[in-house]
Amino acid sequence: MRRRLALFIAALAIWMLLSWPPDSQHLLAGIAAAGLTALLCGDLFIDGTRLFTRPSRWGYFLIGYLPLFAWQCLKANIDAAWRILHPDLPINPGIVQIKTSLTSDIGLTFLANSITLIPGTMCVNIDKDKGILYIHWINVKAEDSETATRLIAGKFEPLLKKIFE
């Protein structure tokens, strides 16, 4: 029940932000959509909504993770634009393994999505039992797992561990 309620509140908040300024019609539609989403998908929502009740985790997320993600994304977008504008720039695509010590589903999901949302890298598979993510990298700079882990996930993983573990 807590997961469904948390999903309802999150979905309604997102709905209201996207349909700003609120009016009665959008509010009713948002309540209906958020309620249906919570009813149908509530059991798929993350297990561990207690994580959102600790202010320190919000601090690490808002002050640590978001600026880091924005900076990494900006750098990768500039690199991708440079590659597009200069097609003679060599690329070396491939799939590499990175190791992670994250164990929670939400922590792994955030790490995989962080990697995928940054241009030039994409998580193609997660082996949770072994703690390995398989990453397609547009310009492989290191094939060994430790160096690839440091280059791709090394900045995100410590913060995500503080937030989600």
- Mean pLDDT per segment of 10 residues, for the chain of length 165 residues? 83 88 88 92 65 77 92 93 83 92 88 92 93 93 90 92 87
Based on the domain organization, do 38 and 76 belong to the same domain? Answer: no
What was the pLDDT predicted at 45? 63
pLDDT value at position 47? Answer: 59
Question: How far is the C-alpha of 79 from the C-alpha of 49, rounded, in Å?
Answer: 37
Q: Do residues 149 and 100 touch, judged by C-beta distance below 8 A? A: yes
The number of beta carbons lying within 10 Å of the beta carbon of residue 29 is: 13
Q: Are residues 15 and 88 in the same domain?
A: no
Cα separations in angstroms, 75 against 1, 80, 107, 108, 118: 42, 9, 23, 23, 9
Q: Are 147 and 96 in contact (CB under 8 A)?
A: no
Any idea what the Cα angle at residue 90 is, between residues 87 and 94, rounded to 5°? Answer: 115
Number of domains in the chain: 2
Enumerate the β-bridge partners of residue 132.
Answer: 99, 127
Q: Tell me what pLDDT residue 41 has.
A: 82
Per-residue pLDDT at 2: 76
Owning domain of residue 157: 50-164
Kindly state whether residues 94 and 22 are assigned to the same domain.
no
Same domain for 158 and 127 = yes
